[in-house]
Amino acid sequence: MGAETHMGGEGGNRRRALPRHSARLEKTADVTGSVDVRADLREATMLVSVIIPLYNTEKYIGACLASVLSQTHRNLDVIVVDDGSTDGGAAIAEGIADERVRVDRGPNQGVSAARNRGLDLAEGEIVAFLDADDLWYPNKLSEQISVLQSDAGVVAVGAVFQYLSGNGRRFGRAGEGARDAASHERLKRGQLMPFPLSSLIARTDAVRDAGGFDESVPPVADLDLVARLALTGSVATVMRPLGAYRVHSSAMSARQPAEMMMLARFVEKRATARLEGRPAPDLESFVSSYQLTKAQRRRDGAARRFRDAGLLVMEGRYVRATALCAVALAARPSYILRRIAMRLPARRTPSAVAHSGT
């Protein structure tokens, strides 16, 4: 799904909680003699709540849920939060014969309100977020849980994802490491979102303690949440593809790039003030006084052209894409070269994409 985000809490009127999820794995090993076996069993039996906001995505929700239910980590609490859809997506989810899946229907309040509703309903000690048009590869959760469990200082784990066009074409990848000191500082200051939100897993209590998603700052609530999580611990990235992130030309980052950049700067300013113990700005006053410098306009223009070039490549329009990329490269060479390097095809291409049903 395209970049979308918001904050603050509970996302509107609270609806009746669903019956408690009861699926659990049976113990399959004797844990009395080995610390390693106990650790492995602990990871295998951890309940992971997977929160999937759904809004008019019936074309993709079936493949999305299939990728979740195909995880090698089996102990799942899958919560599809229908955000007032007018298509048949919720019915598709409700028709899946798996007790681990539950669907919560409600009025349209926005994607971050839907994620916060899912967070309210989550029963797992780990929570994972997935957009309804994205996909996970089979080992995604098991690999990330291992990272989370191996270090008590790690509060959240993301992963490299491949880009996926609307027609199922893969191109490049997104994701970077963030555990060095400089990157961690950028995280805390709201200057870095190192991976797609659909790759994120985190300790449920940590996300709740951080306040969930800020519903006032679409489409950068993911950036805001990770900044707050980074104040409480390390944020790790599995540096190989564990899923696919669908890119649409209709995504907000493509439709309204200027608004997205403005809100990203607000998140950065607020996070930096919080980190330095200064009063945080309010959104209304920030927007009313917002003005770009010439250098900022140049940087934003280069980033927008590079993003548009990527969309054109996914549509097979290579000549126009090359021209846009050249203009962006001339305006901001170091940034564009780094982004190109990040999007180079990964060495290993998991077969799960071939079975995505897209």
Ordered DSSP codes for 135-202: EE-TTHHHHHHHHHHH-TTEEEEEEEEEEE-TTS-EEEEE-----SHHHHHHHHTT----S-GGG-EE
- CA–CA distance, 298 with 305 (Å, rounded to integer): 11
For the entire predicted model, the pTM comes to 0.80
pLDDT, greater one: 306 or 5:
306
Task: Return the closest-CA partner of residue 9 out of 152, 221, 271.
Answer: 221
Give the pLDDT confidence score for residue 6 in this predicted structure. Answer: 32
pLDDT, greater one: 46 or 6:
46
In the predicted model, what is the mean pLDDT of the chain? 83
- CA–CA distance, 175 with 180 (Å, rounded to integer): 15
Q: Residue 52: which H helix or E strand, with range?
A: strand 48-54
The amino acid that residue 81 corresponds to is V
In order of 76, 96, 186, 252, the CA distances from 22 in angstroms are 10, 17, 40, 37
Locate 168 and state its tokens: 């199922």
- CA–CA distance, 48 with 204 (Å, rounded to integer): 9
- Region for 5 from its dihedrals, namely left if φ exceeds 0, alpha if ψ lies in -120 to 50, beta otherwise: beta
Do the Cβ atoms of 196 and 129 come closer than 8 Å? no
pLDDT band, residue 330 (cuts 50/70/90) = confident
Which DSSP letter does residue 115 get?
H
**pLDDT tens profile 33-78:** 455 556 666 677 899 999 999 999 999 999 999 999 999 999 999 9
The CATH number for 11's domain is 3.90.550.10
5-19 mean pLDDT: 36
Residue 336 has pLDDT above 60, yes or no: yes
CA angle 286, 339, 301 (to 5 degrees): 45
- Is the torsion defined by CA of 35, 36, 38, 42 positive or negative? positive
Locate 83 and state its tokens: 């955000």
Give the pLDDT confidence score for residue 27 in this predicted structure. Answer: 37
- CA–CA distance, 213 with 220 (Å, rounded to integer): 10
Structural domain total, the chain: 1
**pLDDT tens profile 87-103:** 999 999 999 999 999 99
101-109 mean pLDDT: 97
- Sorted by sequence, the CB contacts under 8 Å of residue 22 that are 6+ apart come out as 99
Site of tokens 């609806």: 15
How many distinct helices (H) and strands (E) make up the chain? 14, 9
Minimum mean pLDDT range among 137-141, 176-180, 274-278? 176-180
Give the pLDDT confidence score for residue 196 in this predicted structure. Answer: 95
- CA–CA distance, 16 with 12 (Å, rounded to integer): 13
Give the pLDDT confidence score for residue 342 in this predicted structure. Answer: 63
Do the Cβ atoms of 227 and 190 come closer than 8 Å? yes
- CA–CA distance, 35 with 41 (Å, rounded to integer): 10
Which DSSP letter does residue 251 get?
S
pLDDT, greater one: 342 or 182:
182
pLDDT, greater one: 185 or 357:
185
- CA–CA distance, 149 with 126 (Å, rounded to integer): 11
**pLDDT tens profile 121-147:** 999 999 999 999 999 999 999 999 999
pLDDT band, residue 247 (cuts 50/70/90) = confident
DSSP alpha helices (H): ranges in 4-57? 35-45
> Could you tell me the residue range of the domain that residue 256 belongs to?
1-358
Locate 66 and state its tokens: 């299939």
Query: Helix 294-314 and helix 333-342: axis angle, to 10°?
Result: 30
